[in-house]
Amino acid sequence: MNINPLLLTDFYKVGHVFQYPPHTTLVYSNLTPRKSRMSGCDEMVFFGLQYFMKHYLQDYFNREFFSKPKKEVVDSYARCIRTSLGSDLPTYAHIEDLHDLGYLPISIKALPEGATVPMRVPVLTIKNTSPEFYWVTNFLETLMSAVLWQPCTSATIARQYRKLFDHYAEETGTPAEFVQWQGHDFSFRGMSSLESAILSGMGHLLSFTGTDTIPAIDALERYYNADSEKELVGGSVPATEHSVMCSGEKDNEIGTFRRLITEVYPSGIVSIVSDTWDLWKVLTEYMPALKDEIMARNGKIVIRPDSGDPVNIICGDPKAPAGSPQRKGVIKLLSEVFGTTETLKGYRILDSHVGAIYGDSITLERAQKICDRLMDNGFASQCVFGIGSYTYQYNTRDTFGIAMKATYVEIDGNGREIFKDPITDSGEKRSAKGLLNVQSLGGKYKLLDGCTPEVESGGCLQEVFRDGVILKETTLAEIRNRIKA
């Protein structure tokens, strides 16, 4: 929808221009993760600002506001206010003045994207650069919060998965290059919107290269200076779905497998969904029967279960009858047919012609249990995980308590530190106060508030946007390197 960008806010914002004290000339705010509700994670990855600046502060505002006739945009704004709030605002001159100015008169200072930031440390500050537009600073809060929380949250979750897989790869001797693909983004269809899928998908690709969210790759090229011709931004493999398998005859499912691996994909990696009817039959009958064709291929056949308890399916169900396929699980059954080699850490890894991926309702906890159980059974970490909306969509802005709050104003030329500290709150909503500075101490970011203007001008928060112009850009490669570091 091509909505007037001045309407991309909450209704209560439209009256704030008249509510600030008379002669207010500056509003200075910050965006901060206040509290982690994710177990075992006390830092948030900062990501998404460059997308927000390019897509909204530049492209969207220029196209839908500044480049349109002033009367058109002011009338559309006034019509919405009048029909929804029941009366006109005292004046719309501030909207007219902003249109006349021709750009957003704000300055944004931020930490580098890809930085891991402790709770209660601001990732950015924002203020107006022209006195009469003091109202613009917090007018942007709704849009900024709505756009930024998802990429920050998904980038943080992806980093947690990467840390988990790196740990088990180190413990069991899994090749490091495999880990890059071990987390695969399956979330597109389950996200709340197309933009949500793109933002989350970009966050995933900061820590991994496997994805089925195609537009996330395009977005990283467009907004983060990536180039798929020169670097691996994201990739996937050919894969079947249940409609493909069902379209073949149930009584000749092995024929579908054979045609796929010898005719359609005679080489390379192909992922085949294998529980359309009987996963255990696939593993105990079809795989042995197709062993010669599979071993003769220059490539890998990836078995994809898609139902059941993921831990028991991959690693075996200890409650199943002894010697049964269910007791052994996918990895052990494949090892019995195709054999294994031993890593330098003494754990078994499947022959390179076969592998497994599981992508139904994966969580960090389930992924850890699978890696643990494989390790206990003598296997290296080697299952690829399809990380879907069950991971990336079951979150909100409150996962890390991300909030934008004003901490400093200037009225009649005098600076005034402001803050909130509700007596009814546990302390989570207590804000910083005054001008802010973020320092890096011992490799950790730390907030200094109540600063002088001179102290505020330094530190790790660097100006990246001023008066409609992006002053400093970063690349996907730089962000990935920050997360690895």
Residue numbers of the chain with a pLDDT score lower than 50? none
Q: Which CATH class is domain 5-148+403-484?
A: alpha beta
CB atoms within 10 A of CB 84: 10
Note the helical H segments in 86-132: 93-101
Task: Determine the Cα–Cα distance for residues 161 and 385; give it in Å rounded to an integer.
Answer: 10
Where are the domains positioned within the chain?
5-148+403-484, 153-392
In the CATH scheme, what is the homologous superfamily, with its name and number, of domain 153-392? Answer: Aldolase class I (3.20.20.70)
pLDDT at site 288: 98
Residue 238 CA to residue 426 CA, distance in Å, equals 51
Residue 400, both tokens: 């890390």
Residue 82 is encoded by which pair of tokens? 């009048």
Report the alpha-carbon distance of residue 459 to residue 109 in Å, rounded.
10
- List the beta strands (DSSP E) in 132-222: 183-185, 210-211
Find, among 10, 48, 43, 7, the residue nearest to 149 by Cα.
Answer: 48
| Cβ–Cβ < 8 Å for 306, 239 | no
Q: How far is residue 30's CA from residue 316's CA, in Å, rounded to a whole number? A: 50
Given a contact cutoff of 8 angstroms between Cβ atoms, the answer to whether 31 and 402 are in contact is yes
Map tokens 């690709």 to a residue: 205
DSSP-derived letter for residue 263 is: I
pLDDT of residue 421: 79
Check residue 187 and give its pLDDT.
96
Q: Alpha-carbon distance 293 to 306, whole Å?
A: 24
Report the number of secondary-structure helices (H) and strands (E) in the chain.
20, 19
Helix (H, G, I), strand (E, B) or coil at 316: coil
pLDDT number for residue 20: 97
**Mean predicted lDDT score pLDDT of the chain:** 96
DSSP 231-253: S---B---B--HHHHHHS-GGGH
What's phi and psi for 234, nearest 5 deg? -165, 155
For residue 407, the tally of other CB atoms under 10 A from its CB is 23
CA dist., res. 181 & res. 188, Å (int): 17
Whole-angstrom distance, CA of residue 414 vs CA of residue 213: 50
Predicted pLDDT of residue 419: 86
Cα angle: 360, vertex 280, 177; to 5 degrees: 55
Tokens of 154: 């998904």
Q: Please list, residue by residue across 136-166, b when 16 or more beta carbons sit within 10 angstroms of its beta carbon and e when fewer do.
A: bbbbbbbbbeebbbbbbbbbbbbbbbbebbb
pTM for the whole thing? 0.96
